[in-house]
Amino acid sequence: MSAPAAATPGRAEIVAGDGVTVLHVAGDWTLAHYLPLVAEVEALRARIDGVERIDVAALGALDTAGARLLHALLGSRRLAALVADGAALPAERRALLRAVGEALEVQEAAMPPRRGSAVGDVLEHVGRTMGVFWRHVVGLAGFIGLTLETALRVLLQPRRWRLTALAANLEKTALDAVPIVALLTFLVGAVVAFLGATVLADFGASIFTVDLVAFSFLREFGVLLTAIIVAGRTASAFTAQIGSMRANEEIDAIRVLGLDAMELLVLPRVAALLLALPMLSFVAMIAGLIGGMLVCMMALDVSPVMFLSRVESNVALRHFLIGIAKAPVFAFLIAVIGCLEGMRVAGSAQSVGEHTTSAVVQSIFIVIVVDAVAALFCMEMGW
């Protein structure tokens, strides 16, 4: 009985000769020789790109550990070419190399990306957020331009005005919103008057509570509270309506019929909110003044006649005009954001919910920002 062949440590070397660079793989590539082979593989990986041919005729024993090292040395592409060459290796070794290569590719694809430092992760997150924010700004500016262009084109053709859609949207955005707007602003007016009376009583200036309520609601609270309520109520409705049509491919059907989705869906909603928000802001101002007047009457013994007389004598008309002038701007921005987010919806219910939430957040954010800028501008102008 012959003695078993002695184990030969695996080795690899790159030889250049006759104009061809050859990688010679020899010996046993097994777990027993793993550590020396790791060092050899690491040394050869930098030169493997110049190899034109692979010689495995002297390859001895091979197990999964050796197959993994060959994958690390040759790479997926070269290993696949070696496996495809039926004359280079026996069928069982080609099957082993193929199975190990496929398993390693699946593992690499499933591995999460390596985490960097905490500072790097924060900076990466900030960069991605700024990129998303910039794309939102550019998209909103483009959609505003498209809306204005469509509005100017339709404005010159009265036959294309969709008065039925305008009336339906006006009822939903204005008439149906009157109770909630009036109730909330009435309560806020009462709270402002109560706080003003409590604080100003310490200075013997309780009568100035009337001025506080009038100034705050005519200039700021009336239109701002209304815009926030409308942003939560109407912008979400616009996004959900148009988003559902996008998910059901109804907007694609509209375009196939040769109709303009901007003219059919966006313009009636924008026009309705442009009319609705100034009216709702006026209702909010009146309701806030009534709430403040009732608190003044009960807590300060200021009669309604005295309240209105002081408002007439101390509060100029420009404060009302400044407040009401913000309403169309807020209305246009809220309507455009709601319709834009609806147009961005993909074909799923989850996307409808995500864009509806985004529309409300964006609308409230931009309303507060624009109101703050307008307040600073009016302060600098002395209005």
In tens, the pLDDT along 193-211 reads 988 888 887 777 778 888 8
CA distance 106 to 111: 9
pLDDT for residue 220: 87
CA distance 166 to 172: 10
**Contact residues for 58 (Cβ-Cβ < 8 A; gap 6+):** 24, 25, 26, 27
Assign 2 a pLDDT band (cuts: 50, 70, 90). Answer: very low
Structure-token pair, residue 332: 């246009």
Q: What Rg value do the Cα atoms of the chain yield, rounded?
A: 37
Q: Find the mean pLDDT for residues 23-50.
A: 80
* Main-chain dihedrals φ then ψ at residue 55, nearest 5 degrees: -110, 115
CATH code: domain 11-110 is: 3.30.750
User: Is the pLDDT at 21 greater than 60, yes or no?
Assistant: yes
pLDDT for residue 65: 83
pLDDT for residue 87: 67
User: Is the pLDDT at 255 greater than 90, yes or no?
Assistant: no
Q: Find the mean pLDDT for residues 25-50.
A: 80
* Residues 334 and 235 sit within 8 Å (Cβ to Cβ): yes
CA distance 367 to 228: 7
Single pTM value for the model = 0.66
pLDDT per residue as tens digits for the range 310-365: 888 888 888 889 889 999 999 999 999 999 988 888 877 788 888 888 889 989 99
The mean pLDDT of the chain is 84
* Domain boundary assignment for the chain: 11-110, 136-381
Assign 113 a pLDDT band (cuts: 50, 70, 90). Answer: low
